[in-house]
Each structure stands twice: as structure tokens, then as C-alpha cells.
Structure 1
Amino acid sequence: MTARRARRAAAGLAAAALSLGVLTACGGDGGKPTLNWYINPDGQDTLNALAKSCSTDDYTIKIQLLPSSATDQRTQLARRLAAKDSSTDLMSLDPVFVPEFANAKWLLPFEGELKDKVLDDDVLKGSAETVTWDDKVVAAPQWANTQVLWYRKSLAQAAGLDMTQPVTWDQVIDAAADNDGTVGVQANKYEAYVVWINSLIQGAGGNILDPDTVESGRDAKVTIDSKAGEDAAAVIEKLAKSGAKQADFTTSNEGTSLGQMFPDKGAGEFMTNWTFVYKNYEGLVGKPGGPADKAGLEDLGYARYPQTVQGEESKPPIGGIDIGVGAYSKHPDFAKQAAVCVTSAKAQSDLAVNEGLMPSRKSVYDSDELKKAYPADLLALWSDSVDSGGPRPKSAFYSQISSAIQSRWHSPTSVGPSTPAKSAAFLKAVLSGKALL
């Protein structure tokens, strides 16, 4: 287990012990107000430091831990806000939950000068798209996440792949299968599997829902039953039947897929995964699960997310964290000021250098601090991937959409040409209230 995952596990236990009772939003005896900031377990050390440095003479920011699971994070925050909890001042939100919370009027929009600060031209397009709803800026982008193709350079060379040019999923699967390698993905029945499906579909020129109707909620047009959906299913089906499939394919996640990059036997892997991968392997040099030495780390390559269809630009996944201000906060102006501070360029630089949580601002990728911490070409790849990647459906009903997709596309070993049509029918029924999850 990596140090990051160990911290996450500890954080999950701590979060489980939190009471859902309302916390006081004000200091005792009429003292300085306390703003409660609910965070997920990623980057706790730096987030605690940000809470301290962004506290002022007017207010103190106090960290409250959410559970490690994104689903559990959503559930706890939704319960608080549905109860009009005034102690929920700041929230770290997975971007897919922003539309739901904004649609429920649980987030206070940023306006005027503050709006211009949190969403200016420096914010990468992929991140900017996650914080708007109904023509309002309802959250502040803090850090961005995206996936790239990680691989062993020696494996790609043996396969004759030119990694300076775009590669397709078909090429990657064949290269691994023919050269004693594997392909690492996230295909367990959980959100990351939907991330993969969505990116495959968008990479083929389609969408799960029509982007022009997605914000209309239950009336959104379902478009997963398409040639793009079939192309996405074909990739999953090919990997499922390939010798490049990893042993835990149907239960694979971000952590398990790491283990085949530097195996005791075999040529390694091609793997799609998030930005934390680089620091993970850098910290494992000479240790189990990592490269044997620094020379081994040099064999770790990275490239643009694979194309679903040759010649069609891929759409890397978009993730990260946005900061929302609770609609029932007793100190909304202070909370908005605090949100601006914890999402500043300096804050994003600290999160990237210390925690591997990458910026949502273009200028931070160009900073001297990041260039000392990461290879320049990797920073450029991440920045471009966030700027040109594809978000998941921007719907107030995203949790139902995700669950409906999972229920018809899992297990990945059962995916075939008919899967898009079956999932479209079920998703339509779920959105219209004619089927239950």
C-alpha cells in the first residue's frame, strides 16, 4: 500500500466516526466565526496548511473530513444540505456532483469580482466547464485530474509503436498481447468504469447524453445507442477477450492496475490512470511494486489517452475537485472569500508539488515550482489533456445515470455489440421514472 492509500484508509476511518449532527458555525461566546470546510481525504497535509494560511482576522477555517468514497462524500453532504445545515460552509466536490447540488439550490453562486477571480481565462477549459450551471458560476476550480496512457518504454519499443504519435486502443491491446505485456484499466462496478466508458464514447465522437439537452434533467436525450457507443463496446470486448487482460480485470481499480507496470516477471503494461501515478512510482524506486532503480524509472513513459477510433482525437477523462459554498452558511461572504483563497494559483501550486494534485490553472503548469517537481513534457501533456478532455454528463441526475450505465455494462466480459442499445433503453426508463436502479 502506498503512503497515499494508507492516508486515505486512515481518513476513511476518521470520517466514518464523524457525527452527522450539526456543527457550530460560529466561535463560542460570540468570538471569531469558524468556517467548516468539508474535504475528501486527498492531500490532507496541504489542505490543512491552506486552511491555516487562508484564515484571517475575520474568520478561522476548520477542516472536516469526508469519507474516502466519492459516493459516501456525496451522501453525507447531501444529507447536511437537505437539512439546511448552516455549518456546511465550504465543500470539496467531485465535479460530477456540482450540477446536482446547484440544481437543488445548495450552492451559492460567485458573482461580480469574486466570479472573475475564480473563473478567468487562466482556468483550463475542462475545469471551467465543471463549475457552471444555469449560466452561473456555482463553484471554484481547485485542482484538476485527467488520465493519460502510462507505459513501459521498452514494451512499446518491442511492439514497434511510435509513441510520439497518437495510438489507438486496438494498437495498445495488440502490442501488449503480442509482447508479454498487459493493459491496465479500471473496470470494477464503480464510477471509474463509467469514466472509461464515457471517454471511449466521446473519443468516437459521441456522448452518453446529448450535450445540448443534458441540463434538461430527466428530459435529456439519451444518445449512447450509437455508432460511437458500439465503437466503445468493441474496445472493451476486445480487451476482455485478449491475452493482455489482467487477472483482476472485472474488479480492477486505480490501485490494482498499478501493480503490473514493474512486475517480477513480464514486460510490464500499458495503463490508463490519473496524474498521481508519476509520484507513486517515483516514491517506489527500489521498493516492491516499483522500478528497481532510477534507471528503471526512466523506462516509465506517458502519452496522450488512446484513440477509440484511429484519426479521431481522444477525449481524456476530466476529474478533480471544485470548492462550493453552502447555501445555508451563516457567513456566506467570508466563505466565498475563503474559497477564492484556497483555489488561488499559490494554493494550486502547493497541492501539485506536495500532493500530486494537479492545477486547474494554465499558469501554474508553467511555474518554476512545478517544473522542478515534474518533467516539462509531462506537465504539458496533463495541461493539454485537461484543456481538451471530455467531462462526464453534466446532469443533476448524474448519480442515477452512472448507476444505470454500470448496471448494463458490467461485467466488462459481457459487453458486446448489443450493450449500447440495452443500456440506452434502461437509462431512458430510469430517467423517466419507469425503472428503478
Structure 2
Amino acid sequence: MRSPTDPWEAGVRSSKRGPAALAALTLSASLLAACGEDGGPPTITWYINPDNGGQGRLAASCAAAAGGAYQVDVQVLPTDASQQREQLVRRLAAQDSSIDVMSLDPPFVAEFANAGFLRPFDGADATALTDGVLRGPLATTSWKDQLVAAPFWANTQLLWYRESVARAAGIDPAKEGFTWDEMIAAAQGQQKIIGVQGKRYEGYMVWINALVVSAGGEIITNTEAGRDADPTIDSRPGDEAARIIGDLARSPAAPPAMSTASEEESRSAFQGPAGGFMVNWPYVYSAAKEDVAGGGIDRSVLDDIAWARYPAVSADLPSRPPLGGINLAIGAFTRYPEQALDLVRCVTSLENNIAYMLDSGNPAARGAAYDDAKVREAFPMADVIRQSINDAGPRPITPYYNDVSTSVQITWHPSADVRVPESPDESAVFMSDVLQGRRLL
């Protein structure tokens, strides 16, 4: 799949251009490529997920630091993670050599590596790229004992709550072992709502997986067996996850339109008069500050917001918070592996982990970044973020992650219909059938 700026694509899609114009475009593209190879430094193409421009600024900084050894061209992928995956898969399946470096959502690393789309890092580079990286993101970077992706930035969800609501309910959400059941009861007692991501998309899978792993289980095991992996969502941990989701969805603590709520809808509800609790990513704090500055909410709302570790499923079992973020991988078909590796080293350095966290608001993958004075000033919850990322539970690491995730989303939606044991049982059967080719998504 060619990018919208590809010269050939631009020519084909123009009804006013004939064969001569198309030939000229093809020649132009060849000359541009030759210029990069023979007339100057090579251009490294980095496919990124959308952000506030922070990755583009890092690209420019790293190119400058390379002293002219290469230039960097940043190409922005779609906003939706599944669409990012689709675009990259199509290009890499065609052995597209223009994909030098890519910002890859962690759940897709195993799929890309298993297909031979990623260039592994050797021992010395693997050591340098993983030194000081927190356990959560580190677990998503290898496939079959090879480092195939470098941790860039990580992410996790926290429990956000209104201090006034917690005080009125007589609870302390920051205490060790604070559970979903306690939170639901408190929200109902105070006639408040709990912001969650219940829309049928990857954010819903994030919630389901966090509950299952926090209860001590896994959605699927033996993942290196590929299509013969074992769905294990039909288990006690799966039942606990279904109970919590169903109980919340059918309770007065459920937010309006919970089945269509993503991160922003959750944040809006939490900041409203009915807001009590919310699970969401750290960006919501800076977003609330921006809302105050823009007059969207009163300063008293921001002053009432507090945070804690993700709620536990059981008081005697620490929660495994959700894990997000981005890893950097080198395309297997790149013509410039050394320059691509230099860019990855530069972007993922501790110095740039700190710079990117301050610039974009996305948490660092390296633990030492959270000791930086400017980071601690910008993120007063830095210690909670670091510990949560370190203890986070990754989504299933499997080359068939897309099938696994979509199977769960289909069978657990809408959340008000999620019941025990029907939903986990149906999900396991459906997932197995999809993996074995007996059913289509």
C-alpha cells in the first residue's frame, strides 16, 4: 500500500495525466532515490504514530547529531492502531524497502517478527537498547529470544478520582489493595459514575486484559504455538473480569453511553458534575490543565483530581495495570540498516526519553527518566506511573494478536450483556474457531 505522497500513486489517481506524465513521475522518483544514494546522505524513512510533533522534532535532532550521515523523513500513520498495523503489513508484505524505522504498537511486534518483517538487534545493541528499561515494556520487545524492537516510550493507566467524592464515601483509593468492587460501591453510594473505555475497539481490549491479568490469568497461553495456542479466558480470572464489567455496566455507576465510550468520552464524563472515578492514561492530567486554561472547566475541578494505582480485582493480589506505548523497529528490507540503527539508538536514549516525555506528555520506557527534576515537576504522579509501567500486564504476545483481540471485543460487547460464565466461555470457543480457520471475523 503506497502512501498518499508516493509519486506513482499521485499520478495514477489523477485523471488528467496520461502515460507520458506517469513515465515522468516514475523517472522523477528514480532520480530522487538515486540522489539519496549517490549525490548525498541517505534518507531514513521513519513511519510514526500521530503525536504532537515530538517524534518529528526528535528525528531532526538525531539527524543533526549524526553530523550529516543521514537525513530523516517522517511519515505519519493513521490514528487508529489497527489501521497503522494494516498499512505497515501491506507494505512489508511487499518487501517495501522504504520502511527503515517504524513506531510499532507493542501488541503487533510478535506478528511482524514472526512474519520476518523486522530486523533483529544483535547482542551488543540489544544490551544497550534495553539497559534501564522498565519490565513492562521490556516484555513486549522480543520474539523467540531475539530483541526485535527497542522500547521507546511506554504508557499505563492510572485510577483517577475526585478527592471530594472519595472523602464523602469514606474510602482511600490510594491504599494498597483498593478494588474495583469498592470503587463501584463508592460510586453508587455517592451517585457518581466511573469512566471506562467500553467502545468496541482496542481500548476495550485493554480494559478486559487488565482485569484478567490482574486476577492472575491470561487471555491466551502457549502463544508461540501460533494458531494452536490455547485460549484460557474461560477461567476463574476470566469470570472475575466478566463479573466486574457486567456489574458496572448494569449499575447506576455506569457512565452514559458506556458501550460507545473511548478515552475522551471517559475524560469528559469524569470532569463533569457526575464524575467520581476513571481509569485512563496519564495524558488526562495535562489535558485537564489545558481545559482550565481554555475556560472549559473550573480550576476547582483540576484541584479535586487525584490519582492512584490501577484498581485491583482482589485485595490480596496486586493489580497489573494496562500497558501501552510505542517500540521502535527496523524494517527487514531497509537499504540502510546501519543508519536506521543509529537513529533508533539516538531516539531511545535516556536523554531523548526525558525530552520526549516533556515534549509530548508520553511516559518514558527507561526508569531513570522519572528521576529528572523537570519530569517530576511536570508529572507529580511520576512515581506511580513508573511503578505501574514496571508492574504492567502486557496484552497477549502472539503473532495472531489481531484475531485474539477482535474475538474478545466481539464476544464481550456491549458490556451490559457481559455475563458469567457465558461471555468467557463464548469468547474462548470463538477465538479457537477463528485461529483454526473455522470462523471468520
TM-score when normalising by structure 2: 0.90
Deviation of 1:380 after TM superposition, in Å, equals 0.6
Deviation of 1:309 after TM superposition, in Å, equals 2.0
For 2:18, the equivalent position in structure 1 comes to none
Classify the secondary structure of the residue corresponding to 2:271: coil
Q: Distance in 2 between matches of 1:345 and 1:115?
A: 15
Classify the secondary structure of the residue corresponding to 2:181: helix
Deviation of 1:367 after TM superposition, in Å, equals 1.1
Q: Distance in 1 between matches of 2:35 and 2:244?
A: 56
Deviation of 1:30 after TM superposition, in Å, equals 3.0
For 1:183, the equivalent position in structure 2 comes to 194
Q: Is the 8 A contact 1:408 1:423 kept in 2?
A: yes
Matches within 5 A, 1:341-420: 341-375=346-380, 378-417=381-420, 418-420=422-424
1:27–1:185: structure 2 CA closer, same or farther, 3 Å change rule? farther
For 2:61, the equivalent position in structure 1 comes to 53
Classify the secondary structure of the residue corresponding to 1:261: helix
Asked if 1:298 corresponds to 2:303, the answer is yes
1:178–1:27: structure 2 CA closer, same or farther, 3 Å change rule? farther
1:18–1:399: structure 2 CA closer, same or farther, 3 Å change rule? farther
For 1:124, the equivalent position in structure 2 comes to 134
Q: Is the 8 A contact 1:260 1:269 kept in 2?
A: no
Q: Distance in 1 between matches of 2:122 and 2:374?
A: 31
Q: Is the 8 A contact 2:48 2:74 kept in 1?
A: yes
For 2:430, the equivalent position in structure 1 comes to 426
1:190–1:288: structure 2 CA closer, same or farther, 3 Å change rule? farther
Asked if 1:41 corresponds to 2:45, the answer is no
Classify the secondary structure of the residue corresponding to 2:279: strand
Q: Distance in 2 between matches of 1:233 and 1:144?
A: 27
1:21–1:245: structure 2 CA closer, same or farther, 3 Å change rule? farther
Deviation of 1:373 after TM superposition, in Å, equals 1.4
Q: Distance in 2 between matches of 1:110 and 1:425?
A: 37
Which sits farther off after the overlay, 18-27 or 279-288?
18-27
Classify the secondary structure of the residue corresponding to 2:151: strand
For 1:5, the equivalent position in structure 2 comes to none
Classify the secondary structure of the residue corresponding to 2:73: strand
Q: Distance in 1 between matches of 2:417 and 2:150?
A: 40
Deviation of 1:16 after TM superposition, in Å, equals 8.0
Q: Is the 8 A contact 2:200 2:413 kept in 1?
A: yes
Deviation of 1:372 after TM superposition, in Å, equals 2.3
1:323-358 deviations in Å (ceiling 9; x for gaps):
010000000111011111111111111111111100
Query: Which sections of structure 1, spanning at least 5 residues, go unmatched?
Result: 1-14
TM-score when normalising by structure 1: 0.91
1:345-383 deviations in Å (ceiling 9; x for gaps):
1111111111110000000011122022121xx111010
For 2:20, the equivalent position in structure 1 comes to none
Q: Is the 8 A contact 2:43 2:71 kept in 1?
A: yes
Q: Distance in 1 between matches of 2:83 and 2:385?
A: 28
Matches within 5 A, 1:55-74: 55=63, 56=66, 57-74=68-85
Q: Distance in 1 between matches of 2:410 and 2:34?
A: 44
Deviation of 1:43 after TM superposition, in Å, equals 3.3
Deviation of 1:288 after TM superposition, in Å, equals 5.2
Classify the secondary structure of the residue corresponding to 1:309: coil
Asked if 1:278 corresponds to 2:285, the answer is yes
Q: Distance in 2 between matches of 1:278 and 1:209?
A: 33
The correspondence for 2:143, drawn from 125, 133, 144, is: 133
Q: Is the 8 A contact 1:37 1:63 kept in 2?
A: yes
Asked if 1:100 corresponds to 2:111, the answer is yes
Classify the secondary structure of the residue corresponding to 1:130: coil
Q: Distance in 2 between matches of 1:136 and 1:20?
A: 36
For 2:225, the equivalent position in structure 1 comes to 216
For 2:19, the equivalent position in structure 1 comes to none
Q: Is the 8 A contact 1:189 1:410 kept in 2?
A: yes
1:176–1:21: structure 2 CA closer, same or farther, 3 Å change rule? farther
1:21–1:238: structure 2 CA closer, same or farther, 3 Å change rule? farther
State the one-letter code of the partner of 1:251. Answer: T
Q: Distance in 2 between matches of 1:26 and 1:106?
A: 25
For 1:6, the equivalent position in structure 2 comes to none
Q: Is the 8 A contact 2:193 2:255 kept in 1?
A: yes
Deviation of 1:299 after TM superposition, in Å, equals 1.1
Q: Is the 8 A contact 2:194 2:270 kept in 1?
A: no
Q: Distance in 2 between matches of 1:343 and 1:135?
A: 21
State the one-letter code of the partner of 1:317. Answer: P
Q: Is the 8 A contact 2:174 2:307 kept in 1?
A: no
Q: Is the 8 A contact 1:51 1:342 kept in 2?
A: yes
Q: Is the 8 A contact 1:231 1:309 kept in 2?
A: no
Classify the secondary structure of the residue corresponding to 2:138: helix
The correspondence for 1:435, drawn from 418, 421, 439, is: 439
Q: Distance in 2 between matches of 1:99 and 1:92?
A: 14
Deviation of 1:261 after TM superposition, in Å, equals 2.3
Q: Is the 8 A contact 2:99 2:331 kept in 1?
A: yes
Which sits farther off after the overlay, 85-94 or 275-284?
275-284
State the one-letter code of the partner of 1:148. Answer: L
Q: Distance in 2 between matches of 1:312 and 1:21?
A: 56
Q: Is the 8 A contact 1:93 1:324 kept in 2?
A: yes
For 2:12, the equivalent position in structure 1 comes to none
CA RMSD of aligned residues (A): 1.7
Deviation of 1:27 after TM superposition, in Å, equals 3.9
State the one-letter code of the partner of 2:398. Answer: S
For 1:4, the equivalent position in structure 2 comes to none
Asked if 1:82 corresponds to 2:85, the answer is no
1:328–1:153: structure 2 CA closer, same or farther, 3 Å change rule? same
State the one-letter code of the partner of 1:387. Answer: N
For 1:143, the equivalent position in structure 2 comes to 153
For 1:241, the equivalent position in structure 2 comes to 250
Larger Rg belongs to: 2
Q: Is the 8 A contact 1:25 1:35 kept in 2?
A: no
